[in-house]
Amino acid sequence: MAQERTLPVFHPQAAEISREDGLIYYEDMVLGRFFEDKCAEMYYRGKMFGFVHLYNGQEAVSSGVIKSLRSDDYVCSTYRDHVHALSAGVPANAVMAELFGKETGCSKGRGGSMHLFSKEHNLLGGFAFIGEGIPVALGAAYQAKYRREALGQADADQVSACFFGDGTSNNGQFFECLNMAALWKLPILFVVENNKWAIGMAHERATSQPEIYRKASVFDMPGVEVDGMDLLAVRNVAQTAIERARAGEGPTLIECLTYRFRGHSLADPDELRSKDEKEAWLARDPLKRFEGYLLEQDLATEADLKEIRQRIQATVDEAVVFAEQSPEPDASELYRYIFAD
């Protein structure tokens, strides 16, 4: 079992949230969980093909960061991108249709599971190779700063949030982009989803400094470690980093200690991780923890939460019907979308 790091001092009670916001975050987490469970069902029924990487267990990171952004901010993802897309506002119908390879998908059926994209929602893409999305997010942050400072556009205060895993933090693009972001004080959040495993490599075996957030100090930028299984803890850290970025104070490296409840992909038998390790993390399910918080703080009733779960399940079921009934891309358009129109 990989060595478990002592968790930071962020706890649910450390941040306050209104009933309205609490239910928004809860609904987003439920959507992510139910959508991924349905993807697993569809994959094993032969409705989806290729590599499908699910996000179960990491919902507090996506919701805590992306739902704290504005709708005109930018999100850049990885190959584990379904839930990031949903949190960014891409409709479940469009995401599911993309996973089915249909023309109505958010990438017109050309991208599939690992390449979700939506111009409308400022989702800059899912990327199959590790580290690919970091310089893309950096470019988005740079253009916002350039438009504001060089072109005098006062409303160009958008922030970019870039997601990647612990394995990517050993990649050259990670270090190069942190350096550039710090030099130019770019409005970007580098969000490390440290789920302890880079495919089958335990994090502690792959890096000389397993505490990734400490690497920020080399670039003279804030580095924060947070319990990635705690929605309110992630939200608290994200909001602080977003405020800094929007105020022109530069980037933040946020390391979210989290865990994926399924294998690396649905083709992974998940035999490398110990049963004890998996059970220990399952006991910290972020969705159940946040449910408990909402009930304890009288922000919601069991009936409220049940209604949300039922409504979200209906949304996910409808997305499958939509995807199944949607048309395949036409073969005559094989070369369309290769270049910009």
Q: What are phi and psi of 134, to 5 degrees?
A: -65, -50
Q: What is the mean pLDDT of residues 298-317?
A: 97
Query: 224, 242, 135: which is closest to 188 by C-alpha?
Result: 242
pLDDT tens-digit series, residues 71-117: 999 999 999 999 999 999 999 999 999 999 999 999 999 999 999 99
Nearest-angstrom CA–CA distance, 302 and 92: 25
pLDDT tens-digit series, residues 7-60: 444 444 444 899 999 999 999 999 999 999 999 999 999 999 889 999 999 999
pLDDT of residue 338: 85
Nearest-angstrom CA–CA distance, 146 and 141: 9
Residue-range domain boundaries for the chain: 12-323
For residue 334, name the pLDDT band (cuts at 50, 70, 90). confident
Lowest mean per-residue pLDDT among 1-5, 8-12, 209-213: 8-12
pLDDT of residue 178: 98
Query: What is the layout of strands, in order, in the sheet containing 160-165?
Result: 74-76, 160-165, 188-194, 252-257, 223-227
Mean pLDDT, the chain, whole residue set: 94
pLDDT tens-digit series, residues 181-194: 999 999 999 999 99
* Per-residue pLDDT at 6 exceeds 70: no
pLDDT of residue 14: 45
* Per-residue pLDDT at 323 exceeds 60: yes
The type of residue at 51 is F
Q: Quick one: 12-323 is in which CATH superfamily?
A: Thiamin diphosphate (ThDP)-binding fold, Pyr/PP domains (3.40.50.970)
pLDDT of residue 16: 82
pLDDT of residue 341: 74
**Residue, of 7 and 289, whose pLDDT is higher:** 289
pLDDT of residue 4: 55
pLDDT of residue 5: 60
Lowest mean per-residue pLDDT among 8-12, 64-68, 243-247, 255-259: 8-12
